[in-house]
């Protein structure tokens, strides 16, 4: 199909036309094609047939073969009016073929409300040179319907309300100029529906309320200049859906409330221009939806209220361009934004998700996960490798931050520690200091576990000795004061330490030669001496009225150090709380 022309001229000659298959026509149509400067660039020969001759074939119920023919002013509306048939009455058409034909009409090439018999219906390689093309309300039987390599010069196509039997619908490698392409309320069969590698130019491309059954829907490498692409209320069955490398141009792309069925959906490497992208309320029963390495331009991206409980949706390495991106109250099995640049506001307040993967992302604006008017139910949240330049609105308790990170199965202890560190720094930036402390404790715990794991991997003596510093750090830094985040915990540790040393003094006095000796005439009992001496030693008061003897001296030295350490520890933890 040659399409690189701006205009054309038809010259009818009274010369017999003989087609390649031997069919003849009494006249020949010479179609000369011109470029944008009016220069003739090439011409084609067609057999010239009158529309009335085609009407006669329809009335007689004969096969219609218009391959390589030129047809002007064909209209089934005129046919119905001339034969007293209702305006929307069905016109039966037997076997039909119009390959490499040329149609033109001042208003419309009208095939509306036709009923094509079983068998292939082909317009492959045909030119619709002038006038819109209408198949509104038409019915196609079993067989393939082929518009591949067809040129719709007017750009206005109407298939609204038509239905297709078993077989493929092919409108691939076609060229459609600016206009309205209406595929609304169509019922497709179980074959392949293909618009692959077709150029739709600008205008409206409408698939509203269209039904796609089992089979394959192929929109691969299709190009749209701009306007509106509207699939809302469409329903797909068990159907493989491919929009791979589709270029939507600067169009408003509307997939609202689309039921994607249970097949696999592929938007990989598709390109969305400057315009709204809307998937609000779309649903899927199972399978995968992939937007990997897609590109989006300027404008809002709406993925709100999507019902895809059993669906994995991946935007890995997608460029979202400029404009807010929202997944508000949507439900997924898995939502992956891995390795994306989140340069605008992202609303990730999901109503339900088994996994939310935002690992290896660069966040330059705001990521919102904090529940407001409904609970955000995310079971696993992966932040590993995130570079948080902007801010993340998230709540330690309501978002179950501890659980969603510790439940990860595919990340190392070090990666979990790093994620808690990211949360810790984010909570500090957003002024949520209690949440910061919780995240900091988990960061230090997983950092310590990661260190111990690496030491154990070395084996031998290193493995055994590694438990000593690990145990010491756990006892002193974690158990006694939660890494200086909890002054109350430090006070409890101080009380426990004081009581422990007091009991030790009692045991030393009763069962060893050690003692706590009074340097005054005031003589106290064993318990009183032990608890009193422990108090003045722990708090480093040192009145001198009692002093240790024997092994009690060693215990006193240890207790004095512990007292100084824990009091300092308490001071740090308390000041940390007060200053923030």
Domains within the chain, CATH numbers bracketed: 487-579 (1.10.287.70)
Cα(6)–Cα(168) distance, rounded to whole angstroms?
32
φ, ψ for residue 452, nearest 5 deg: -60, -40
- Which structure tokens are listed for 514? 């050690």
Q: What is the dihedral of CA 309, 313, 319, 323, to 10 degrees?
A: -20
* Cα separation of the two ends of the chain: 74
Taking the CA atoms of 45, 48, 51 and 53 in sequence, report the sign of the dihedral they define: negative
pLDDT score for 309: 92
Measured distance CA(25)–CA(9) in Å, rounded: 20
Sequence-ordered list of residues with C-beta below 8 angstroms from that of 452, at least 6 positions apart, any chain = 466, 467, 470
Give the per-residue pLDDT at 113. 97
Instruction: From 251, 372, 257, 367, select the one nearest 308 (Cα to Cα).
Output: 257
Q: What are the pLDDT tens digits along the chain (580 aa)?
A: 566 788 999 999 999 999 888 899 999 999 999 988 889 888 999 999 999 999 999 999 999 999 999 999 999 999 999 999 999 999 999 999 999 999 999 999 999 999 999 999 999 999 999 999 999 999 999 999 999 999 999 999 999 999 999 999 999 999 999 999 999 999 999 899 999 999 999 999 999 999 998 889 999 999 999 999 999 999 998 888 999 999 999 999 999 999 998 888 999 999 999 999 999 999 998 788 999 999 999 999 999 999 999 999 999 999 999 999 999 999 999 999 999 999 999 999 999 999 999 999 999 999 999 998 899 999 999 999 999 999 999 999 999 999 999 999 889 999 999 999 999 999 999 999 999 999 999 999 999 999 999 998 888 888 888 889 999 889 988 999 999 888 999 999 999 999 999 999 999 999 988 888 888 777 788 899 899 998 999 998 888 888 898 898 999 999 899 999 999 989 888 888 887 6
Taking the model in full, what pTM does it have?
Answer: 0.87
Count other C-beta atoms under 10 Å from residue 562's C-beta: 20
CA–CA separation, 276 vs 302, rounded Å? 8
**Beta bridge partner(s), residue 211:** 187, 235
Q: Which of 132, 255, 218 is nearest to 182 (CA)?
A: 132
Distance between CA atoms of residues 397 and 438, nearest Å: 10
Closest CA to 31 of 63, 67, 68, 58: 68
**What's residue 519's pLDDT?**
82
Cα separation, 42 vs 256, whole angstroms: 45
526-538 vs 552-579: helix crossing angle, rounded to 10: 50
DSSP letters along 4-69, please?
--SEEEEEEESS-EE-TTS-EESEEEEEEEE-TTS-EEEEEEEEEE-HHHHHHHHHHT--EE-TTE
């Amino acid at each position: 199909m040659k399409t690189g022309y701006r205009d054309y001229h038809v010259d009818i000659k009274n010369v017999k036309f003989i087609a390649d298959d031997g069919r003849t026509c009494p006249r020949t149509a010479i179609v000369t094609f011109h470029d944008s400067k009016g220069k003739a660039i090439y011409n084609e020969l067609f057999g010239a047939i009158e529309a009335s001759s085609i009407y006669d074939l329809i009335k007689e119920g004969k096969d219609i073969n218009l391959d390589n023919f030129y047809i002007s002013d064909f209209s089934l509306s005129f046919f119905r009016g001339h034969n007293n048939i209702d305006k929307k009455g069905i016109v039966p058409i037997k076997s039909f073929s119009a390959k490499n034909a040329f149609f033109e009409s001042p208003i419309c090439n009208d095939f509306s409300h036709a009923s094509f018999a079983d068998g292939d219906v082909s317009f492959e390689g045909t030119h619709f040179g002038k006038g819109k093309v209408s198949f509104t309300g038409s019915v196609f039987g079993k067989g393939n319907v082929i518009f591949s390599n067809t040129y719709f010069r007017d750009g206005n196509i109407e298939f609204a309300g038509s239905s297709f039997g078993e077989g493929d619908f092919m409108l691939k490698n076609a060229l459609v100029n600016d206009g309205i392409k209406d595929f609304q309320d169509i019922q497709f069969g179980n074959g392949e529906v293909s618009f692959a590698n077709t150029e739709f130019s600008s205008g409206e491309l409408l698939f509203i309320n269209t039904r796609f059954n089992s089979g394959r829907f192929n929109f691969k490498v299709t190009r749209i200049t701009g306007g509106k692409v509207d699939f809302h209320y469409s329903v797909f069955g068990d159907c493989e859906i491919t929009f791979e490398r589709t270029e939507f141009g600067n169009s408003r792309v509307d997939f609202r409330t689309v039921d994607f069925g249970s097949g696999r959906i592929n938007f990989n490497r598709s390109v969305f221009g400057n315009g709204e992208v809307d998937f609000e309320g779309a649903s899927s029963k199972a399978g995968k939806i992939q937007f990997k390495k897609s590109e989006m331009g300027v404008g809002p991206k709406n993925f709100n209220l999507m019902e895809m409980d059993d669906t994995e949706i991946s935007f890995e390495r997608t460029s979202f361009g400029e404009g807010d991106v929202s997944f508000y109250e949507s439900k997924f099995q898995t939502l992956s934004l891995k390795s994306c640049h989140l340069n605008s506001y992202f609303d990730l307040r999901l109503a339900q998700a088994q996994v939310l993967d935002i690992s290896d992302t660069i966040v330059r604006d705001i990521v919102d996960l904090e529940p407001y008017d409904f609970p955000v139910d995310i079971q696993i949240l992966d932040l590993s490798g995130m570079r948080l330049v902007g801010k993340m609105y998230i709540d330690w308790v309501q978002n179950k931050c501890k659980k969603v990170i510790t439940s990860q199965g595919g990340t190392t202890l070090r990666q979990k520690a790093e994620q808690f560190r990211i949360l810790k720094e984010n909570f500090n930036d957003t002024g949520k200091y209690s949440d910061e402390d919780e995240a900091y404790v988990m960061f230090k715990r997983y950092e310590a576990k990661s260190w111990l794991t690496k030491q154990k991997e070395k084996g031998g003596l290193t493995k055994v000795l590694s438990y000593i510093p690990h145990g010491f750090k756990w006892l002193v830094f974690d158990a006694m004061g939660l890494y200086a985040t909890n002054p109350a915990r430090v006070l409890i540790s101080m009380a426990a330490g004081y009581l422990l040393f007091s009991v030790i003094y009692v045991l030393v006095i009763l069962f060893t030669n050690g003692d706590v000796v009074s340097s005054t005439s005031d003589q106290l009992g064993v318990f009183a001496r032990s608890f009193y001496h422990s108090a003045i030693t722990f708090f480093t008061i040192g009145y001198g009225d009692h002093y240790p003897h024997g092994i009690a001296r060693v215990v006193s030295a240890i207790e004095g150090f512990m007292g100084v350490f824990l009091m300092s520890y308490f001071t740090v933890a308390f000041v940390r709380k007060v200053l923030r």
